Amino acid sequence: MTNIGFIGTGVMGISVVEHLLKNDHAVTVYNRTKAKAETLLTKGAVWAETPQNVAETSDIIFTMVGYPVDVEDVYYGEKGIFKADVANKVLIDLTTSTPSLAEKINQTAKEKHAEALDAPVSGGDLGAKKGTLTIMVGGDEQVFNDMKEIFQLFSSSLELHGPAGSGQHTKMANQIMVAGTMTGLTEMLVYAEKAELDLKKVVKTLSGGAAGNWSLENYSPRILKEDYSAGFFVKHFIKDLSIALDEAEKMGLNLPSTKLAKELYEQLSQKGHAEDGTQALIKLWWENE
């Protein structure tokens, strides 16, 4: 049994911690809003008052917060992880964040005789619940191999993509793809509805052909039930697309359709839907009907 620390018990973090607990690991948790960790405390997790305290009592420390600024805070803040003696510990950031911050954390960890991996995930809230996330890892091969067993408790696909930052770059590649599948899904449904087709039938037929994809499979049932709750927050998708476009610009790349997807999601956010799930994009059309 390894002592595991987990910081950030939101939509995704809660489910990941549940898998760790189910597999008899001792888990110490911290979240900005304590109420969101309560269900985990009833299931055996132990509360710590600060990220520093989590790091002091754990051998492996996971973080899964919202934005890069939150990652900065939990690692480098006044009561952050790096205020603890982290020698010989492994720090794993599951947040979707920037490649440069992942490199900085890895560097600081090494200076303090610790190890760090960037390990953003894909698979949504359902993937987290089922323990079938895809994990994209950046960092040292030996550390990755040592952590495989723990990662496998909540994932079904796991790959090391290169040195620190490579996990985040892979996640950006993932989000560039998802931008296309979400706008495609939305415009497909808007079109099919105007053509007075049976939407359930259309979704079923398309799923079996060349248009089949994860967004269609997972989000069209929610849209057809008018369930726009998050899964994956609109505000977080805008964050991800901003990081992807910044990184692309640094590499001298122009990604016009990713830019357009970001603009559409910003419009949706400005209409008051930042806290909805990304499937709410269709409200740009259907809310005005």
Rounded distance between C-alpha atoms, residue 109 and residue 103, angstroms: 10
- Phi and psi for 288 in degrees, rounded to 5? -90, 0
Q: Does 61 bind ligand NAP (CB under 6 A)?
A: no
* 4 closest CA partner among 27, 22, 31: 27
Give catalytic status of residue 171 as yes or no: yes
Any residues with CB less than 8 A from the CB of 19 and at least 6 apart, and which? 131, 153, 154
Smallest gap from residue 214 Cβ to ligand NAP (A)? 11
CA 37 – CA 156 distance, rounded (Å): 25
Closest approach, Cβ 172 to ligand NAP, in A, equals 12
Compare residues 37 and 90 and give the one whose CB is closer to ligand NAP: 37
Applying the rule CB under 6 A, the residues between 26 and 45 that interact with ligand NAP are 31-33, 36
Scanning 121-129, 138-146, 192-200, 220-228 for contacts with ligand NAP by CB under 6 A, the matching segment is 121-129
**232 interacts with ligand NAP by CB under 6 A:** yes
Q: Which residues contact 185 (CB under 8 A, 6 or more apart)?
A: 213, 215, 216, 219, 220, 279
x-or-dash string of contact with ligand NAP, 84-103, rule CB under 6 A: -----------xx-------
Q: How far apart are CA 232 and CA 276, in angstroms?
A: 8
Kindly state the smallest distance separating residue 204's Cβ from ligand NAP, in Å. 24
Catalytic one of 89, 104, 112, 171: 171
The reply on whether position 138 binds ligand NAP by CB under 6 A is no
Return the amino acid letter for 78: E
Based on the shown chain and the rule CB under 6 A, indicate whether residue 4 belongs to the binding site for ligand NAP: no
Name the site residues for ligand NAP (rule: CB under 6 A). Answer: 7-13, 31-33, 36, 64-66, 70, 73-74, 95-96, 121-122, 124-125, 231-233, 236, 240
